[in-house]
Amino acid sequence: MPFARTLMVALTLCGLANVPPPAASSSDAGPPSPRALDLHVVVESERTTMAAVRRTSIEYWLSSNKTWLRAGDRTTIVRNDLGVQWRLHRPSRSYSEDRVLPYTAGGRTVPPGSAPVNLHTEGFSYEPDFRWTVEETDERDFIAGRPCSLIVAVGRADFAETVLRIWLGPWIEDPTDPNVNTMIANRGLSNSAITFLARTAAIGRRGALMAVEEAYEPAILAAVNVRTRVLTLEKAPAPPDIYDLPDGFTREVR
Amino acid sequence: MHHNLRSLNGVAVALLLAVAPPHRALSVVEPAEEADLPRVVITELKHLEETYRVLDVAADKVWPGWTDYRNVPFLFEYRNGLKVLVGHPNPPAGYELLADVRVENKSVAVDRRNLLRLELEAPLRATGGIIRYGATDEGDPVETVHMRFSAAGTRNSDGRPVWRAEHQILTFVHELFHTFQNAHFIPFAFGNLHYNPDVHYATYSEIEGQALLAAWQERDQRKAVERLEDFIVARDLKRRSMTAQQRGEESADDLREGTANYAMVRTLEVLRESDFTARLSPMEAPSYNGFRNVGPLIDQHVQQLRLVSGQIDDPKAKCYEYGAFQALLSQRLFPGWQRSLAGGESDFIDQEIRRRLALEPSKQAAIERRLGRLYPIDSIRAKTARVIGGRDAAFRDIRARKGEVYIVDFKTVGVSVESLFPLRDSYRLGWHRLYPKGTPGVTLDDINLSRIDVPFEAGQLYYLRLVGTAAPHGAPAAFSVNGAMAADGSYVNATVTTPHFTLRAPRMRIDAEGDRVKIKVLSRVKED
């Protein structure tokens, strides 16, 4: 597909390097030791299905090899450097620990149709193999202070359909995981959409997902509409010890 | 969550209810005129009111502590697009409250935005499920019983409808019991059974059913326990090809759907022994007999158990009665069985039965030998092998077809493809059904689909998928459309003709790309 127009826009946009960090505070004890600036992101998500709307706000701190994410009562800390992921439940002050799996675009490693047929389980699960049609648009907007452009993608499969409205902003050059460009605004989307977006946004370092709207008609279940949008995107010093397991939490035995 | 109404209706022909007026008719202000609701819709609201009165008598004897059955909203959805919401704390946008209509003290709201010109004629029957529908003021989703009504259709030889008010009330009981389960004793995360049987599984699955039936019919308690032992050992043998996850799914299905069906039968048993007084007049509920003759209603479940025992390719369909009769037999033989489930001693009914029987390995081996004497294993295996072999051959043949692809999508109009055609000569495989010999033509409202003479499958419930082999591989799919195109690109009152079938529908959208054509049926009734 001709992406030239979007690419031109993206290349002329300013990157995060131009976002000024907050001024360091001074103290009588001398200059503070320099602290790396991490990426701080707040994403708003809205999911509508069966006449019910569920809104969530997700806050991220991202550093090299480390991610902190909070949604509602749950906090997830991913430590790629240690190979673990902690899921914290703040009301019960408990947590679980799992071996960390490297993030892959869309989380899917087996393309549809490539697994051997198992007649015991054949026909139950269905992952749409969408044929995508992508259309560039002239629509522009500022999201979290960043200029973005809209593309619309329509996915058609035998037993499912989806329509994506994708706002791409400037590529984020950052010491964090490069997947940050494709993951921060994909919360709640269908698996197939996440895979497609990861591929679309990442090709040629095309842009960062700043907002996505998906109208998804799954095979059997009720239609789902998801809107997700980045509200805050900044470089800032992370709160101290935020990537560490906090004191006073008890590990769940499962 | 869906009650297996297709097969229940099949055995309902045997129902012979005495015709007698209810004990006492309420003086009811008929609100149909004021609310402009069809009479059959008012009738269903009356059935729901009667359901609460039935449960006032039966619920605590169905399951100790079941008292919260009035707390759950109902969503009634009709073929003409009408939606009726009862007792919802915060009806979603599009609903209007009806000032003159209430179910007990519950509000009634309707959504008429998508009404079709379609008469609703009694009798209706509904299948149901539990959904999250709308949200409270605080934004929490609302657990709601969702009932979809369709024409009950069939009548007995004497002209009376097979589907009676009692069936509908018991179906409401079934769904309400699901909401009780969710709040009180359904354990953790096992979804529905996802398992297609092989010959070994299907053989011992039928023996399980025969053992449950024999246990139910056995009056001698010691012998009934022996038949339950047969059931447990047959289940252990059956499950050798299943994963731990699949075993858990099967037991969880038995618990979910089985205890909900148990609630239906147990309600009938309690009503038989009580002085329940029906409160609906013939005017309010024309097919209602006030549960005056519950024996035939209980017998329907026994007949259904017998029927599903011999079904081979759809094990999920068995959980309703297999689970129900595990629960009914536990009620008869193992007092306190519910406490074990609610208290966490056992997660599933079969686990509780196994715990109560406490079979030693040596006895288990003896029972295994006994199965061969008591049950016709060889003939069951031979029958099963023919069906499973046919299914596997159909699967291979249909999936091997290469050529242009035609898909007809019935999801928008809420029609599962397998409900359109006879089940004979077809096979279930997951959420698909295989039709190796094609199907006869069918008409549904204003939709007409011609006979299909080539093998095809119904995929994911709602989609007819046919691979043609007439055109050269990779060639565009051939089709023509005769009808008017609307401004939105859909076709109105059009006919699509392909080399393999002809489809006429009031409105449809067609997406054609290369060797693939997808026809989405958007309406089943002609619009103004």
Residue B205 has a pLDDT of 98
Q: Identity (one letter) of the amino acid at B46?
A: K
SS (H, E, C) B143-204: EEEEEEEEECCCECCCCCECCCHHHHHHHHHHHHHHHHHHHHCCCCCCCCCCCCCCHHHHHH
Mean pLDDT (whole number) for B387-402? 96
Distances (CA, A) of A57 to A45, A79, A229: 6, 22, 10
Asked if B510 has any chain A CB less than 8 Å from its own CB, the reply is no
**DSSP of A153-221:** EEEEETTEEEEEEEEEE-----SS-TTHHHHTT-TT--HHHHHHHHHHHHGGG--EEEEEEEEEE-SSS
Q: What is the pLDDT of residue A115?
A: 63
Distance between B335 CA and the closest CA of chain A, angstroms:
32
Interchain contact B52–A (C-beta under 8 A):
no
Q: Which chain B positions have a beta carbon within 8 Å of A159's beta carbon? A: 407, 409, 459-460, 462-463, 465
Distance of alpha carbon B170 from alpha carbon B393, whole angstroms: 40
Three-state SS at B85: strand
- Average pLDDT across chain A, whole number: 81
Cα A225 to chain centroid distance, Å, stands at 17
Which of the pair, B4 or A64, is modelled with greater confidence?
A64
Q: What pLDDT is recorded for position B12?
A: 33
Is residue B426 predicted with pLDDT exceeding 70? yes
% of chain A beyond a pLDDT of 70: 76
* Residue A175: pLDDT over 80: no
How is residue B90 annotated by DSSP?
A: S
Is the pLDDT at B1 greater than 80? The verdict is no
B195 with A51: Cβ contact below 8 A: no
For residue B224, what is the DSSP state?
H
Enter the tokens of residue B221: 């308690």
Residue A227: phi and psi, rounded to 5, are: -125, 130
pLDDT at A199: 82
Of B134, B142, B465, the CB nearest to A158: B465
- The HSE-up count of residue B169 (CA atoms within 13 Å, CB side) is 29
pLDDT digits (tens, 9 = 90+) for B456-499: 999 999 999 999 987 777 788 899 999 999 999 999 999 999 99
Name the residue in chain A with its Cα closest to that of B393.
Answer: A119
Q: What b/e sequence results for A166-191 when a residue is b if at least 16 CB atoms lie within 10 Å of its CB, and e otherwise?
A: bbbbbbbebebbebbbbbbbbbbbbe
Whole-number pLDDT of residue A110: 44
Nearest to A123 among B407, B429, B462 (CB): B429
* Predicted pLDDT of residue B151: 84
> pLDDT of A225-236, one tens digit each?
999 999 999 999
Q: What is the pLDDT of residue B496?
A: 98
Percentage, residues of chain B above pLDDT 70: 91
Query: Is pLDDT above 60 for B15?
Result: no
Q: Is B395 on the interface with A (CB under 8 A)?
A: yes
CA distance B275 to B24: 13
Cα torsion for A97, A99, A103, A106, to the nearest 10°?
-80
Query: Mean per-residue pLDDT for B286-312?
Result: 94
Q: What digits encode the pLDDT tens for the residues A82-106?
A: 999 999 999 999 999 998 865 554 4
Contacts of B135 in chain A (CB under 8 A): 51-54
pLDDT at A14 over 80: no
Chain A residues with CB under 8 Å of B461 CB are: 219-220
CB-based contact B431 A217, cutoff 8 Å: no
- Helix H or strand E segment including B250: helix B244-272
In this structure, is the dihedral angle defined by the CA atoms of residues B512, B494, B507 and B457, taken in order, positive or negative?
Answer: negative
Compute the Cα dihedral for B354, B357, B361, B364 and give only its sign.
Answer: negative
Q: Say whether A219 and B463 touch across the interface (CB within 8 A).
A: yes
CA distance linking residue B166 with residue B292, whole number of Å: 10
User: What percent of chain B has pLDDT above 90?
Assistant: 79
CA-only gyration radius of chain A, Å: 20
Name beta bridge partners: A58. A43, A71
Instruction: Tell me if A120 and B241 make a contact (CB, 8 A cut-off).
Output: yes
Closest CA in chain B for residue A158: B407
Between strands B463-467 and B456-459, the pairing is antiparallel
Q: Does B445 touch chain A (CB under 8 A)?
A: no
Residue contact A123–B139, C-beta within 8 A: no
The continuous run of DSSP H or E covering B349 comes out as helix B349-357
Q: Do A52 and B134 count as a contact with CB atoms less than 8 A apart?
A: yes
| CB-based contact B518 A156, cutoff 8 Å | yes
Query: Which chain A residues are Cβ-neighbours of B89 within 8 angstroms?
Result: none
Asked if residue B34 has pLDDT above 70, the reply is no
Q: Please, what sign has the CA dihedral across residues A159, A165, A169, A175?
A: negative
Number of cross-chain residue pairs from A and B with Cβ atoms under 8 Å apart? 85
Contact status of B348 with chain A (Cβ, < 8 Å): no
Q: A27: distance to nearest CA of chain B, Å?
A: 46
pLDDT reading at A174 higher than 80: no
Q: Which token pair is B230?
A: 């047969």
| B465 contacts chain A (CB < 8 A) | yes
DSSP state of B500: S
- Counting Cβ atoms within 10 Å, is residue B321 exposed (0-12), middle (13-18) or buried (19+)? buried
Q: Which of B236, B388, B212 is CA-nearest to residue B308?
A: B212
Question: Using CA atoms, how far apart are residues A60 and A64, in angstroms rounded to an integer?
Answer: 13
- Work out the pLDDT band at B187, boundaries 50, 70, 90: low
Q: Is B241 on the interface with A (CB under 8 A)?
A: yes
What is the spatial distance between Cα A227 and Cα B336, in angstroms, rounded to a whole number? Answer: 50
Chain B residues within 8 A of A130 when measuring between CB atoms: none
In this predicted structure, the answer to whether residue B27 has a pLDDT above a threshold of 60 is no
Select from A254, B170, B244 the least CA-distant residue to B252: B244
Q: What is the pLDDT of residue A201?
A: 74
The answer to whether the peptide bond before residue B361 is cis (omega within 30 degrees of 0) is no
Residue from B449, B432, B431 nearest B440 by CA: B449
Residues B143, B71: Cα–Cα separation, whole Å: 10
How far apart CA A132 and CA A155 sit, in angstroms, is 4
How far is the C-alpha of B41 from the C-alpha of B39, rounded, in Å? Answer: 5
B310-338 pLDDT tens trace: 999 999 999 999 999 999 999 999 999 99
A123: chain B residues, CB-CB within 8 Å = 196, 429-432, 459
Structure tokens at B155: 């009548």
Distance of CA A5 to the CA centre of its chain: 24
3-state secondary structure of A146: strand
Q: How confident is the model at residue A33 (pLDDT cuts 50, 70, 90)?
A: low
Candidates B142, B196, B411; nearest CB to A122: B196
- Judged by CB atoms closer than 8 Å, whether chains meet at B513 and A156 is answered as yes
| B463: chain A residues, CB-CB within 8 Å | 158-159, 219
CB nearest A124 (choices: B131, B407, B431):
B431
Q: What is the ipTM of this complex?
A: 0.85
Check pLDDT > 60 for residue B521: yes
- State the burial class of residue B498 (Cβ atoms within 10 Å of its Cβ: 0-12, 13-18, 19+): buried
Other Cβ atoms closer than 10 A to A128: 23
Q: What are the strands, taking DSSP E only, across B313-419?
A: 405-409
DSSP B37: -
- Widest CA span of chain A, in angstroms? 73
In this predicted structure, the answer to whether residue A17 has a pLDDT above a threshold of 60 is: no
* A203 Cβ contact partners less than 8 Å away, ≥ 6 residues apart: A3
Residue B10 CA, distance from chain mean position: 13
Per DSSP, helices labelled H in B401-423 are none
- Rounded Cα–Cα distance for residues A198 and B286 (Å): 59
Name the average pLDDT for chain B. Answer: 90
According to the model, what pLDDT value does residue A16 have? 38
B258 in Cβ contact with B349 (< 8 Å) = yes
DSSP β-ladder status, B502-513 and B516-523:
antiparallel
- Nearest CA of chain B to the CA of A157: how many Å? 9
SS3 B504: strand
Taking an 8 Å cut-off on Cβ atoms, the answer to whether A53 and B135 are in contact is: yes
Whether the per-residue pLDDT at B255 is higher than 60: the answer is yes
Residue B317 Cα, gap to closest chain A Cα (Å): 15
Residue B104 pLDDT: 95
